[in-house]
Amino acid sequence: MAGRKENLKSPRSTEEARERGRKGGVASGQARRKKRALREYLEARLEIMTGDVSTAEAITAALVDKALSGDMRAYETIRDTLGQNPRQMVETEVSGGLGLHHEVTPVVGALLARLAKEEEGQA
């Protein structure tokens, strides 16, 4: 359905546009300050030592343990955090001549091999 001209609002005056822009700028500044404060708080909390390890190291170890136990979201988080681009090519032939190609990094390949070994041991 096409818009109707009578539904259009009249153009804002320069003063009204300026006032709306100012309010938007103030709100944007508040949001940036709040986001920065949260980031600084998290960074400070991650630096706190618990025994011989930092909080960040403890969280990382727990995340790796979850990935090794088969948690795919933990695995994806690790992969994405490391910024690893797929390097190792895995090819699978499907009937009809269609080939599927999926690249996996060496680290991910080793992790998948370990998970497969653990699965074989459980079966």
Task: Give the chain as a 3 state SS string.
Answer: CCCCHHHCCCCCCHHHHHHHHHHHHHHHHHHHHHHHHHHHHHHHHHHCEECCEEHHHHHHHHHHHHHHCCCHHHHHHHHHHHCCCCCEEEEEEECCCEEEEEEECHHHHHHHHHHHHHHHHHC
Taking residues 42-67, report their average pLDDT: 84
Taking residues 17-41, report their average pLDDT: 93
pLDDT value for 121: 77
Contact between 108 and 84 (Cβ < 8 Å): yes
Distance CA 93, CA 98 (A): 6
pLDDT value for 97: 62
> What global pTM score does this model have?
0.42
77-79-85 Cα angle (round to 5): 140
Give the gyration radius of the chain's Cα atoms: 26
Q: On the CB side of 102, how many CA atoms lie within 13 Å of its CA?
A: 6
Taking residues 37-64, report their average pLDDT: 85
Q: 83-123: per-residue pLDDT in tens?
A: 775 554 455 555 666 665 667 777 777 788 888 888 787 75
Distance CA 13, CA 15 (A): 5
